[in-house]
Amino acid sequence: MTTSLDTGPTNRLAAGPLGRGIAWLIGPRGLRNPDRLRREVDGKIAVVTGASYGLGEATARMLAAAGATVVLGARSADQLDLIVAEIKEAGGSAVAIPLDLASEDSVNSFAGQVLTQFGRVDYLVHNAGKSLRRSIHLSYDRPKDLAATTAANYIGPMRLTLALLPGMRERGSGHIVNVSTVGVLFPVAPKWGFYLSSKAAFDIWMRAVGMEARPDGVTLTTLYAGAMFTRMSAPSGWISALPGHSAREAGYIIARAVVRKPRTLTPAYGRPSAVLAALLQNPLEIGAGLLYRFLGDTRASLAVVKGDGNAA
């Protein structure tokens, strides 16, 4: 079991001063003032999904260090226990509750335990996610590609919201952070269909729900995250060559979301990409289709189809 917080870019360009400078410039920038975070979350209850690795782990540790009681949810129970033990050793407050977003029973049991133990949720960070970059012909005989991506990125988080939102609205307060991807603002790309469609579906659903819940005091921040150097992106060589954030740095972006509660956070290139994607849909899709025919599948994708894992 390991902590993935300090995973950085393996590519020299991304890890160097130029790459880090570009990552800082394109943002979004994290909150740097721990006092502001502490004033916001001290004594509050925060639920973080996908807290066993990467951004979720970093977020859980950061919120606990700022005084929140953090509920960590994910499937890797041993890894969660390890993180909770370290949080407690450092004087923080946290509990691990197993959560498999692919199982309706697990989501209901998770939400039930949270409400029984704490009676309320002040922050809900929808962070868990399952990435997949694979040609559709490689998924014909893999129903689990469909099940895993839709469960982790869309249906599971919807169910969890349905279970926890009523209490937030009744109390008239609460903040939800949805960790989406800047990929949903990009032109549609071959091989990313399962991942991006499930992330986009939840983004749209959550924003619609957010509009209804806002008058009752429940706010929503959608983070359209750019590249992060985590377990998820590790198999994809080209992502680690892009300027991006470590899990810890990205945790400070979640801190900004929690403290300032903006409706959206996105890298500087996110909105222009969305405009171009809409204006130039046909030529961009023709170009991407041609490129796909030329490049085909990565060795990582092909290898994963034979074995299993996080294909990127």
Ligand X SMILES: NC(=O)c1ccc[n+]([C@@H]2O[C@H](COP(=O)([O-])OP(=O)(O)OC[C@H]3O[C@@H](n4cnc5c(N)ncnc54)[C@H](OP(=O)(O)O)[C@@H]3O)[C@@H](O)[C@H]2O)c1
Residues that bind ligand X (CB under 6 A): 4, 49-50, 52-56, 74-76, 99-102, 127-131, 151-152, 179, 181, 225, 227-228, 230-233, 239, 247
Do 28 and 266 form a contact (C-beta atoms < 8 A)? yes
Which residue type, as a one-letter code, is found at position 177? V
Query: Which are the contacts of 189, defined by CB distance < 8 A and separation ≥ 6?
Result: 183, 196, 288
Please tell me the distance from the alpha carbon of residue 135 to that of residue 296, in angstroms, as a whole number: 8
CA distance 249 to 20: 11
Nearest to 97 by CA among 85, 111, 87: 111
Minimum separation from the CB atom of position 27 to ligand X (A): 14
Catalytic residue list contains 195 = yes
Q: CA-CA distance, 48 to 159, in Å (whole number)?
A: 15
CB of 118 to ligand X, least distance (A): 19
Do 68 and 18 touch, CB atoms closer than 8 A?
Answer: no
In the complex, the smallest distance separating the C-beta of residue 248 from ligand X, rounded to whole angstroms, is 11
Residue 50 or 193: which CB sits closer to ligand X? 50
- State which amino acid sits at residue 4: S
- Residue 33 has a CB neighbour count (10 Å cut-off) of 12
Residue 180: helix, strand or coil by DSSP?
strand
Q: CA–CA separation, 307 vs 149, rounded Å?
A: 17
Looking at the Cβ atoms of 100 and 297, the one nearer to ligand X is: 100
Instruction: Provide the 8-state DSSP code for 29.
Output: P
DSSP E strands, the chain:
45-49, 69-74, 93-98, 123-126, 174-181, 218-225, 228-229, 245-246, 264-265
Task: Write down the least CB distance from residue 173 to ligand X, Å.
Answer: 25
Considering the complex, what minimum distance in angstroms separates the CB of residue 46 from ligand X?
15
- Residue closer to ligand X by CB (options 68, 200) is 200
Nearer to ligand X, 75 or 171 (CB): 75
Cβ 160 to ligand X, closest distance in Å? 10
Active-site residue, from 53, 195, 224, 252: 195
**Pick 131 or 161: Cβ nearer ligand X:** 131
Which residue, 66 or 265, is less far from ligand X as judged by CB? 265
Which positions are annotated as active-site residues? 195
